[in-house]
Structure 1
């Protein structure tokens, strides 16, 4: 009782502020980022019909447009989509979520993904949700896997199991941040394994990650999932980098 009164006193005189716009948070339901900043996250309206890369509005009148990489090569996944382009408020939210360990952002960011998921795939049929795994050493260091927290939010709403332990990262790869696209592909080659292939055979999988950059990670995950007998892999990420 005393602690609650003291917390109310502090919140009244020293309200928590949005980490992006610095305005006071107006509701106890707002965690770290205010509803206004979340609502200002841009969506992707014109995109490659295969990998989901944001395209310029000039592509809007083209039926089923494909980006140049998807015209040149076969993708390991069936389709990929992202909820938002990776800049502005969503970029700030992801950095707070991953690097400042603001795990409460999993819910509003997961809600953002859900809204986009139903927009992109109103009739999507999937059997399992798999998060892109972190190496155990990296997950221990960070304390959580951001992809799994997002996958769990989606799982709760669409009533499809999010399975964390079957797709595993067995190589603690170097950071992809400064690598070229070719170096990224080489970096993740052989980095993953399937623990129980029989549990995935014939299944339709939704593969979840926070950011799609070059696609090297989700391509490698999709490749080994298909080799394990998965029927179809669709990729869904919170954000997509824009060249």
Structure 2
């Protein structure tokens, strides 16, 4: 007798908790992919590395962002950042991982850019940590979730003048476990790359603690938005 492929438990679960598109949040029901967003992904996926000279990234060896911070990916990023949507996080993580693999970076440790505890408490999650947790297994790399610490709450870099940006992040990050980063090729992970100053400051601290080099991968990159 041929066994049926019908999964009653899965059927009921999807009736109660219908899956949504990780990009536009549209209810998918029993359709495996969003007919609106899926065809757009190959066109929106970034194929090149982020030009370090266009951002404040002197301390990095290279950087990659999976998508531009524009619709529809802007909405998907906000779903991950403010709603903690794990499906949106996983969506971005698969393309972030592919970008790192395609670049053939010899990274040895994944480190998320930390948020201040007050921001984590307000949102209920640490966005960069969610991305790093989803990304590390795809790259088969260890996760240094507590390597970096954010010491105080800072202003958003993109709202500051060029002069203020240089001092806003001074002393904002510290390396909590120098032994774990010594000699490592570190992959910094964050949700969006704007000015690049945050990633650059984190890389500076890690290199100062003995890391061999630092790369960065983000879900999106903003060019002045």
Which TM-score band (shorter chain)? 0.7 to 0.9
Alignment pair present for 1:110 and 2:93: yes
Alignment partner, residue 185 of structure 1: 166
Larger CA deviation: 35-44 vs 163-172: 35-44
What's the CA shift for 1:97?
1.1
Q: Taking CA–CA contacts closer than 8 Å with sequence separation of 6 or more, which of the two structures ends up with the larger relative contact order?
A: 2
What is the alpha-carbon distance in structure 1 between the residues aligned to residue 23 and residue 136 of structure 2? Answer: 28
Q: CA RMSD in A?
A: 2.9
Aligned residue pairs, count: 215
Partner of 2:73: 90
Find runs of 4+ consecutive structure 1 residues off by over 3 angstroms.
3-11, 15-24, 26-30, 66-70
Question: What is the TM-score of this pair, normalised by structure 2?
Answer: 0.82
Superposed counterparts of 1:61-140, under 5 Å: 67=53, 75-119=58-102, 121-122=103-104, 124-140=105-121
Q: 2-side partners of 1:9 and 1:150: how far apart?
A: 28
Aligned-partner Cα distance in 1 for 2:86–2:15 = 25
Distance (Å, rounded) in 1 between the aligned partners of 2:24 and 2:220: 20
Deviation sequence 1:14-48 (CA, Å, 0-9, x none): x6664865754144866xxx37425524122455x
Contact 2:154 2:172 in 1 (8 A): yes
Contact 2:14 2:30 in 1 (8 A): no
SS at match of 1:229: coil
| Counterpart Cα distance in 2 of 1:27 and 1:204 | 42
What secondary structure, in the 3-state scheme, does the structure 2 residue paired with 1:81 have? Answer: strand
Structure 1 partner of 2:145 = 164
Give structure 2 stretches of 5+ with no counterpart. 1-8
Aligned-partner Cα distance in 2 for 1:127–1:20: 30
Gaps of 5+ in 1: 54-65
Q: Deviations over 1:45-68 (max 9, x none)?
A: 455xxxx14xxxxxxxxxxxx746
User: Are the equivalent residues in 1 in contact too, given 2:23–2:75 (CA < 8 A)?
Assistant: yes
